[in-house]
Structure 1
Amino acid sequence: MKVFVINLEKYVARKNHALAQCQNIGLSAEIFNAIDGRSLSPQQIADKTHPELSAGLTESEIGCALSHLGVYQRIIKDNIDVALILEDDVQFDHYSSNVISYLKEHIPQQPTVYLLSEVRKYMRGGKNIPHSEHELVSVSQAALAHAYIINLAAAKKMHAFMHPVWLEADRWTFLIECGVVNIKAVIPAVGHLSKLSHESTIWHCEAELERKKIVREQRRIAVSKIRKNRAMNIKLKNALWRIFIRPFFEVKQS
């Protein structure tokens, strides 16, 4: 299985951390040079994003999304059947190796993503992963994109759906709602965030923190527009799911 670590070239300590994490569980990883959205010109950002639906995304979030899309493009170009995509603040535990080994051998042909990170909500009644205390469950709500397995079919679907950039790289819940890919997660998680994640590379300075509230309001308005523009059959499907399925099968992750 191909392993990609997304890393901004200037963050050497984060790169070394992620490579060590992979080495500790027997994985050989390739560094994928991330795109620093803060270094892009206004014209470059305009060329790479949706003119309306990307409103409220920061330059760093755009760079993050472009970096993940770049990995998908590489998977498609090289015809890679299955890949593990990591960000450089990932932290594995001692269960990770066995779980990842199992998942890479049991990913279906249809577009599928396996989240190794914690998720917000998932469905009861998952599939037990052999020789572990973990389950593979269907996801209802999730964010975070620092550790996930993706197959070639999913990379194709997600690249087509998310390019040019109009969604955050980890907008998993919306991808689920739109039925773009099948998203499952490992419970309990085996791909955690390290202490390095506390040093945000998105809200990285006081000036950006000050504009966070304004930007998030812009994003809320854009996401509302995105949801409003969904096809009627998708809206109906999600309404029926919320009414008849979620109250009985959904649980929050502890």
Structure 2
Amino acid sequence: MKVFVINLEKDVARKEHVLKQCQSIGFEAEVFNAIDGRLLSPQEISDKTHPELSAGLTESEIGCALSHHGVYQQMVTDNIEVALILEDDVEFDHQSRDILNYLASHIPQRPTIYLLAGVRKYLKGGKKIPCSEHTLVNVSQAALSHAYIINLAAAKKLNDYLYPIWLEADRWTFMIECGLVNIKAILPVIGHLSELSHESTIWSSESDFERKAAIRELRKVTVKKIRKNRTLSTKCKNSMWRIFIRPFFEVKQE
């Protein structure tokens, strides 16, 4: 399985930390140089983002989304069947190797993502992982993009769907609602956030924090517009699921 580590070139300590994590569970990783959205010119941002639907995304969030999209693009170009994508603030359990290898070797052909981090809501039940106490569950709501497995079919879908950039890299719930990819999660979590995650690279300066509330409000308005612009078939499918199918499932919260 190919392993990509998304890392800003300046964040040497983070890179060393995550490479050590990969080494400890027996994986050799390729560092993918992340895009620092704060260094992009206004014209570059304009060229790489949707003119309306990216409103409310910070420069750092745009850089993060471009970085993940860049990995999808490389998977498509190099015909990489399955990859483990990591951000540089991940912390793995020591027993993760066998679980990761199992997941990679049993990923279906249809567009699929396995989230290794915590999820907000998931459906009760799921599939037990052999020789493990872990379970693969269907995700209802999720965020966080610091650790996940993705197959080529999903990379192709996201490569086309997410560019020019208009969604955060971890807007998984929206992708689920649109039926874009099949998203599952492994529980208990094996891809944790390390202490390095407390040092945000999204809101990293005093000026960022000062404008955070206004930006978040703008993004909230934009997301409402995005959801309103979903196709009629997608809206109907989600309404049918909530009314006729969801009542038969117990939705748990992680």
- Provide the TM-score with structure 2 as the length reference: 0.98
| 1:140–1:250 CA contact under 8 A, matched in 2 | no
What CA distance in whole angstroms lies between the structure 2 residues aligned with 1:239 and 1:79? 36
Structure-2 residue corresponding to 1:119: 119
The answer to whether the aligner puts 1:134 opposite 2:134 as a matched pair is yes
Task: Kindly state the Cα deviation for residue 206 of structure 1 after the two structures are TM-superposed.
Answer: 1.1
Task: Kindly state the Cα deviation for residue 35 of structure 1 after the two structures are TM-superposed.
Answer: 0.2
Amino acid at match of 2:139: V
Task: Kindly state the Cα deviation for residue 159 of structure 1 after the two structures are TM-superposed.
Answer: 1.0
Structure-1 residue corresponding to 2:58: 58
What CA distance in whole angstroms lies between the structure 1 residues aligned with 2:247 and 2:67? 36
Structure-2 residue corresponding to 1:84: 84
What CA distance in whole angstroms lies between the structure 1 residues aligned with 2:55 and 2:11? 28
What CA distance in whole angstroms lies between the structure 2 residues aligned with 1:71 and 1:164? 15
What CA distance in whole angstroms lies between the structure 1 residues aligned with 2:97 and 2:90? 14
Task: Kindly state the Cα deviation for residue 125 of structure 1 after the two structures are TM-superposed.
Answer: 1.6
The answer to whether the aligner puts 1:96 opposite 2:96 as a matched pair is yes
**Mapping 1:17-28, distance limit 5 Å:** 17-28=17-28
| 1:175–1:181 CA contact under 8 A, matched in 2 | yes
Structure 1 counterpart SS, 2:183: strand
Task: Kindly state the Cα deviation for residue 230 of structure 1 after the two structures are TM-superposed.
Answer: 0.3
Q: Deviations over 1:187-217 (max 9, x none)?
A: 1110010010000000001110111100000
The answer to whether the aligner puts 1:36 opposite 2:36 as a matched pair is yes
Structure-2 residue corresponding to 1:159: 159
Structure-2 residue corresponding to 1:183: 183
Structure 2 counterpart SS, 1:236: helix
Task: Kindly state the Cα deviation for residue 252 of structure 1 after the two structures are TM-superposed.
Answer: 2.7
Structure 2 counterpart SS, 1:145: coil
| 2:24–2:94 CA contact under 8 A, matched in 1 | no
Structure 1 residue runs of 4 or more that deviate by more than 3 Å after TM superposition? none
Structure-2 residue corresponding to 1:212: 212
Structure-2 residue corresponding to 1:239: 239
Structure 1 counterpart SS, 2:145: coil
Structure 2 counterpart SS, 1:245: helix
What CA distance in whole angstroms lies between the structure 1 residues aligned with 2:250 and 2:191? 22
Structure-2 residue corresponding to 1:9: 9
Task: Kindly state the Cα deviation for residue 96 of structure 1 after the two structures are TM-superposed.
Answer: 1.2
| 1:37–1:60 CA contact under 8 A, matched in 2 | yes
Task: Kindly state the Cα deviation for residue 38 of structure 1 after the two structures are TM-superposed.
Answer: 0.1
| 1:121–1:250 CA contact under 8 A, matched in 2 | no
What CA distance in whole angstroms lies between the structure 2 residues aligned with 1:239 and 1:120? 20
Task: Kindly state the Cα deviation for residue 249 of structure 1 after the two structures are TM-superposed.
Answer: 1.5
State percent identity of aligned pairs.
72
Task: Kindly state the Cα deviation for residue 116 of structure 1 after the two structures are TM-superposed.
Answer: 0.5
What CA distance in whole angstroms lies between the structure 1 residues aligned with 2:250 and 2:6? 32
Q: Deviations over 1:141-198 (max 9, x none)?
A: 0000000000000000011110100000000000000011000000111001001000
What CA distance in whole angstroms lies between the structure 2 residues aligned with 1:171 and 1:229? 16
* Structure 1: stretches of 5+ with no match in the other structure: none
Structure-2 residue corresponding to 1:170: 170
Structure 1 counterpart SS, 2:186: strand
| 1:137–1:185 CA contact under 8 A, matched in 2 | yes
Q: Deviations over 1:24-69 (max 9, x none)?
A: 0000000000000000000000000000000000000000000000
The alignment yields a C-alpha RMSD, in angstroms, of 0.8
Structure 1 counterpart SS, 2:108: coil
| 2:118–2:189 CA contact under 8 A, matched in 1 | yes
Task: Kindly state the Cα deviation for residue 243 of structure 1 after the two structures are TM-superposed.
Answer: 1.8
